[in-house]
A and B are shown apart, each in its own frame.
Chain A
Amino acid sequence: MTFFETKEVVKQYAGHTALNKVSISVPKGSIFGLLGPNGAGKTTLIRIINQITGPDSGEVFYNGKPLSTNDIQRIGYLPEERGLYKKMKTGDQAVYLAQLKGMSKKEATKKLKVWFDKFDILPWWDKKVEELSKGMQQKIQFIVTILHEPELLIFDEPFSGFDPINTNLLKKEILNLRDKGATIIFSTHNMGSVEEICDHIALINKSEKILDGPVDQIKKRYRTNTYKLSYTGEFDKLDQILNSDFEIVDREKGIECNTLKIKLHNGSSSNDLLGLLLPYLNIVSFAEIIPSMNDIFIRVVKESKKF
């Protein structure tokens, strides 16, 4: 079921188009990766979702209805450019930001204490923000984003500036939120994290969406029918055995075993390949090479440049 949707959204700034007819559809309860190089238009799209700015044309739907002002209460947003009032006390500031999201002071204080405790920053409640480390400030920003239990969460480069331990902490919390039913939009150009946590993605380049869908399907679509095969022993008649259906794209000699990368052509299957090779080789492992999101990203962006 689609929870959030944009249809043919266009946004223009004087003399340049930030978004050109971008349609995305975010399924309920998914982690949706919004990918693209810097300056592609991700932030503009996110600002439209947050109603910081409006689209010039096109439609935006939230939970099946056109996006309205009241929906802001149900959205949590962690911007890429984020900060806090330096001179304000940490606790007061978190309460203030929660109040702006429509929470009562009492409720906000109660919940914040729980989260501060969970993230080990409770002792800093009465300290000024400028006395905190950058990591602690990031934690506070994260807590403030999710405190009002929004249905839709938007994280713009959430892991930038986090150390590996805190990144893991954050990932765990994000997955936790998804399991509790929140829908999450995740904007990044860090492909590693996309593969780990996203179910769906949309790839935006130069103001246009060039690819979208579930991650596993995209990966399938972009697989190249290439297999990786390791074997032990010496064998020099490989090229004679393999016919034109099988192309060796890479060969590598190792200390214990040798590795081949073989691309299959003309509808031949992996079984055909194994059948051919089994009589001659002592096979150690055999697996399909699935392209990483990083490879797909680079490939798609390069291809789109040709047009």
Chain B
Amino acid sequence: MNKIFIIIQREYLSRVKKRSFLILTFLTPLLIAGIYAFMIWMIMKDDTEKRTIAVINNSELVKPVKSENFTTFKYLQNVSFEEAKKNMTANGYYALLVIPKDILKSQTAELFSYKQVTIEVKSDVGGQIRDHIEKIKRSKIIVESNIPDLEQKLAATRTPISMRTIKFGEGGQVKESSTEIAMAIGFISSFIIYMFIFLYGVQVMRGVIEEKTNRIVEVIISSVKPFQLMMGKIIGVAMVGLTQFIMWVVLSGIIITIGTAIILPGIDLDTLQQAKTLSELPQGAGSLNPDQFKMAQELLGTFDLPYVAGILGAFIFFFLGGYLLYSALFAAVGSAVDNETETQQFMLPITIPLILAMYIGFAVAKNPEGSLAFWGSIIPLTSPIVMLVRIPYGVPIWELLLSMGTLIGTFLFVTWIAAKIYRVGILMYGKKVSYKEIWKWLRYHN
């Protein structure tokens, strides 16, 4: 038994020490955090560019756009379009706004420029004109209908609705949750499992092929049983995968903590969660607007400790179960061939259920209670992926246990079969192997 640990140790260390592993492990969370930070920075960044926009107003509107912040509007009097166009660069105008005579009817204005106009400028100009016209129309109606305080009454009819989604917990307590977040968690974790099974399953297969083509395998199996070598490799690689995942979780945790401290200085997450309204928050939270406050609360409500621990536990179980099941198959494929190009005919039956599982996962996200969801999360070839999509929505405990039990059982059976193929395959050189041949191997005894 001791020998299998020696094998696991070698398989683990030889991979963890690789530069590609270190890069993938440390760079991925940083890269993701970096992309998010960049996107947030882009959105939050104030546009401080000073611009002057020339306006040719052919309509009866009186100064429908007004200079504000960094954008200045200059109304040109008695200047033709051609002339204005010609002098645009010389006068340092950023753009030329033309308001047509029939703007009330056509509801269209034109903005000319040499460079592409930014979205903000476009929507700002459009918004100003719209507000101006709406105001004129409104005051006209108010005057015509002669109802007192109509303006205030109309304003009072505007009612934005925000939906709070609250889930009953096991003990009957209620907690704030978010469907969108549950869906996102389900997708992300099942996708990571899908990726890990492929990534690390193929690593197992490559390892087996390497040993076979290196001709080191016969030396090793004169010291240990082929089963020990196969399981040592599978377990060693599994630990590499787990190490990578745990590193990602830890690194993301650190990045999120630092990130929160930068975005919301002076508030700890508990106070944020306890607060019923924005005004209850202490100073420093002023930078939050009501929408962000609601989102932060939903996030925190969804991510309470037992929930996160539950998902993490399920993730690790289904990752290991799915990985062990598939990597045994990958190992068998690796043993049957002489080089990687020959693997294709045997890879198909492995990749199809995996890809299918991903598609079922998409459908299940829309309806996590249907029969597709049920069977997809029980059948062991798809369950590691499909179940993870369902878990954030909550799954009955008996279904979970059934799914886990089937997965373990199938894993044991598949490993037993794979070991039989592996044992014969690793000593077969230079032979083109078919399914029929593999079927024969299964019936060899010892």
Q: Are B216 and A83 touching (Cβ within 8 A)?
A: yes
CA distance A47 to B221 in the complex (A): 10
Docked CA distance A12–B397 (Å)? 51
Question: Cβ of B215 < 8 Å from any Cβ of A?
Answer: yes
Residue among B14, B222, B224 making CB contact with A79, cutoff 8 Å: B222
Instruction: Give the dominant DSSP class at A's interface.
Output: loop
Segment of A94-102, A179-187, A247-255 in the binding face: A94-102
Asked if B222 and A75 make an inter-chain contact with CB atoms under 8 angstroms apart, the answer reads yes
Q: Residue among A14, A72, A79, A102 with the most chain B CB within 10 A?
A: A79
Per-residue interface assignment for chain B, residues 180 to 215, with 1 indicating a CB less than 8 Å from any chain A CB and 0 otherwise? 000000000000000000000000000000110011
Query: Among the listed stretches A48-56, A232-240, A274-282, which one makes contact with chain B, having 4 or more residues with CB under 8 Å of it?
Result: A48-56
Interface flag for B10 (CB, 8 Å): yes
The answer on a CB contact under 8 Å between B444 and A97 is no
Query: Given A13-B444, A96-B10, A99-B6: A85 and B222 within 8 A (CB)?
Result: no
Contact of A50 among B3, B222, B429 (CB under 8 A): B222
Given contacts A72-B223, A97-B219, whether A81 and B429 have CB atoms under 8 Å apart is: yes
Assess whether B222 is in contact with A82, with CB atoms less than 8 Å apart.
Answer: no
Docked-complex contact A101 and B223, CB < 8 angstroms: yes
B254 proximal to A (CB < 8 A): no
Contact A100 B14 (CB under 8 A): no
Does B427 reach chain A (CB closer than 8 Å)? yes
Residue B440 at the A interface, CB < 8 A? Answer: yes
* Contacting residue for A53 out of B10, B219, B446, CB 8 A: B446
C-alpha spacing A81/B226, complex, angstroms:
17
User: A82 and B216 in contact (CB under 8 A), knowing A52-B427, A96-B6, A100-B3?
Assistant: yes
Q: Are B221 and A52 in contact (CB under 8 A)?
A: yes
Give Cα A48–Cα B219 distance, bound, in whole angstroms. 14
Which residues of the other chain, A, contact B14 by a CB distance below 8 angstroms?
Answer: 85, 87-88
Would you call A84 an interface residue if the criterion is a C-beta within 8 Å of the partner chain's C-beta atoms?
yes
- Cα A97 to Cα B220 in complex, Å, equals 7
CB-based contact A84/B216 at 8 Å = yes
Main secondary structure of the interface of B (DSSP, over half): helix
Residues of B contacting A51 in the complex (Cβ-Cβ under 8 angstroms)? 222
Contacting residues, chain A, for B427 (C-beta < 8 A): 47, 52
Q: Are A52 and B219 in contact (CB under 8 A)?
A: no
Number of interface residues of A (CB under 8 A): 29
Residues A82-117 near B (CB distance < 8 A): 82-88, 96-97, 99-102
Contacts of A96 in B (CB 8 A): 6, 10
Contact A54 B223 (CB under 8 A): no
Bound CA–CA A97/B3 (angstroms): 10
Mask, A150-168, CB within 8 Å of B = 1, is: 0000000000000000000
Measured in the bound complex, the distance between the Cα atoms of B219 and A101 in whole Å is 10
A14 close to B440 (CB less than 8 A): yes
How far apart are the CA atoms of A177 and B36 in the complex, in Å? 67
The proximity string for B residues 35-55 relative to A, scoring 1 for CB distances below 8 Å and 0 otherwise, is: 000000000000000000000
B224 touches A100 (CB 8 A): yes
Q: Are A52 and B214 in contact (CB under 8 A)?
A: no
Distance, CA A102 to CA B393, complexed state (A): 51
Contact pattern, B 406-446, Cβ under 8 Å of A = 1, otherwise 0: 00000000000000000000010100000000001001111
Task: Name the residue of chain A whose CB is nearest to the CB of B232.
Answer: A100
Q: How far is the CA of A290 from the CA of B419 in the complex (A)?
A: 52
B residues 55-102 touching A (CB-CB < 8 Å): none
Can you name 22 A-B residue pairings with CB atoms under 8 Å?
A14-B440, A14-B443, A14-B444, A50-B222, A52-B222, A52-B226, A77-B218, A77-B222, A79-B219, A82-B216, A82-B218, A83-B215, A83-B219, A85-B14, A85-B211, A86-B214, A87-B14, A96-B6, A96-B10, A97-B219, A100-B7, A100-B220
Which A residues are closer than 8 A to B by beta carbons? 13-14, 47, 50-54, 56, 72, 75, 77, 79, 81-88, 96-97, 99-102, 141, 144
Across chains A and B, which 4 residue pairs bring their CB atoms closest together, nearest first? A83-B215, A54-B446, A83-B214, A100-B223
List 18 additional contacts besides A83-B216, A85-B214, A102-B3; criterion CB under 8 Å: A14-B440, A14-B444, A52-B226, A52-B427, A54-B445, A56-B445, A82-B216, A82-B218, A83-B215, A84-B214, A84-B216, A85-B14, A85-B216, A88-B14, A96-B6, A97-B220, A99-B3, A100-B7
